[in-house]
Every structure is written in structure tokens, then in C-alpha cells.
Amino acid sequence: MKLAAFSGSLIDYSIHEAMGICAELGFNGIEIACREPHLSPETSLPRVREMKTIADGYGLSIPALAGYMGHFSTSGDEDCAVAYDQFMGLLERAVMLNSEMLRIFQGGPNAFLAEDYHYAKAAHWIQKCAEEARAAGKRIVLEIHNQSLVETTDSALRLLDLIGEDHVGVIHDAGNMYITDTDYGEESVRQLGSRLFHVHIKDEQRIGQVGEPGTFKNLTRHGEEFFLQCRLGEGEVDHSGLLRGLRQQQYQGWLTLECAAPYPPKERLAYDLLVIKKWLQEAEVPE
């Protein structure tokens, strides 16, 4: 398996500086957060070419562009058309950066609150994006994310079945699935099977209240809950089942570390990298 850092964890740095940090720490790649100051659908093409040159110089792959556009399920047609245009802008940049995958955010509400029409509308617009992605030789990924249509493996498969495109898959995110309080271990990997395209790694824990750095609140099926972002191994997300499942499925893709714990960015990324390498060795997962 190959290890990437999420550039959003280094958003206080320029994308050039973030790439340098990733290379210095020993990552194989960098997954770029598609918001400034790193990248956006409006980033000039000369600047994108410069990014590719710098990544190549560091020996870094760019496996995915983490787009924030979409929200098709709850947006009006005019806003959906704008999001589609943003997707097309990022798709052009994905080709230039040789990024295999492009993330679209499917939108909400929480899967347990969603109606059939939410899934149908998201599927309609993602199908339109998928047609263009296929023509460009790229894959679309939908992140399993709390407070979205895709909160669990079941809701992910429901939307994927409606989309009906084999080059549209999911990002498994145990941290997000912990928040949702759904299975994120071996069985989740088995259920997703070939539709699991990418993996995000982070840690969190439930807490009593928000207010301190790194804390946030989310609506879950249990009501409004509070969470703390943690470094790997310091929260309550047990990644052992996920890693066993990936080994059993012979997953050969990327793991992206996207820690947002309240520590200096470079320090927390270096810490998580050491931890995930240790876990991979213990799980007998080849890097």
C-alpha cells in the first residue's frame, strides 16, 4: 500500500511547501485539497503545470484531488449546474496532474433522514460527471462521510447502484464511520469489495462538550454529539479491523492520512506516519 498525506492537513502552507514537507517526511504522494491556497477549479493552468513539475521533482504522486463541489442532493438545478462546471474545471486539472481519482461530495442530509429523491437527484448529476470522467480516463470517489447520503456501507452501495458506473467508487473513512456509529472494520471492506477505491485514515473520540481546540459537533442517529480530533492511536477509532480487511481483500491502493488534531501540522503528520507504518507491519500489510 502507498501512503499519501492530505494537503488539507497542511493548509497553512503553500502547496509547494506542503509537497516539500510530504517528501521530507517520506510520503509516497499527496492528496490535494481542492480549496485555496492549494488548488481550485479556477487555479490557472500555468500554476497547475508548476505544481506537477514540483511534485515530480520530489518524487510525489498525486493520487486524488479532494473536491468540495457537489451537494447535488439538496441543491437547486442552477446550483447543481454550477457544481458540475466546477467538476469539469477540476477534471481538466486532474488530467494535468495525472491524478487518478477526483472526489465529489454527494450532499446530505444524513442517510437516516434522506428520502428517495435525495439519492435519485445525487445519482443523476454524478452520472453526468461520470460520463466526462470516463472519457478522461479518471475515476470518481464518494467519501463515506457523516451528515451525508453516504454514511454507511449500505447507503454507499445504495447510491452506487443508482449511479450504475463501475468507475465510481467510495473512499473508506473509519474516522467518519466512527462518528456515524457504523461498522468500519473487516465486514465493511468485504461489503464494499471492488467499489472501495481509496482509504482515508484519521482518529477521533466522543467527548462531553465542545470548545477546546480540535473539537466539533455533528448530528448523528443518536442526536447532537461532540467529538475531538486525535492523533492516530490516541482516540477511539480502532483501525485494526480495517487493516485486516484490506489485507484480506489484497487492497493495493492508497492510504491518505488526514489528521486534524490540535498539534503543529508537520509534527502531527510525522507522528501519524510513524503510527500507520507500525500498524501496517503488525497487520502484515505490505507498503
145, 178 in Cβ contact below 8 A? Answer: no
Length of the chain: 287
Looking at residue 153, its pLDDT comes to 98
The bridge status of strand 101-103 relative to strand 64-66 is parallel
Read off the pLDDT band of 213 (50, 70, 90).
very high
CA–CA dist 175, 155 (Å, integer): 17
The yes-or-no verdict on residue 182 having pLDDT over 90 is: yes
In angstroms, what CA-CA distances link 84 with 16, 52, 77, 96, 102? Answer: 28, 24, 10, 19, 13
The mean pLDDT value for 100-129 works out to: 98
Would you state the pLDDT for residue 101? 98
pLDDT of residue 85 exceeding 70, the answer is yes
Are 69 and 87 in contact by the 8 Å Cβ rule? The answer is yes
How many CB atoms lie under 10 A from the CB of residue 52? 15
Strand 254-257 vs strand 196-201: parallel, antiparallel, or unpaired? parallel
The predicted pLDDT at position 232 comes to 98
pLDDT tens, 121-151?
999 999 999 999 999 999 999 999 999 999 9
pLDDT at 286: 64
- pLDDT reading at 42 higher than 80: yes
**Which one-letter amino acid corresponds to residue 171?**
I
- What pLDDT was estimated at residue 128? 98
Report yes or no: 150 and 111 within 8 Å, Cβ to Cβ: yes
CA distance readout (Å), 139 to 69, 109, 131, 134, 205:
16, 24, 10, 7, 32
Position 285 scores a pLDDT of 64
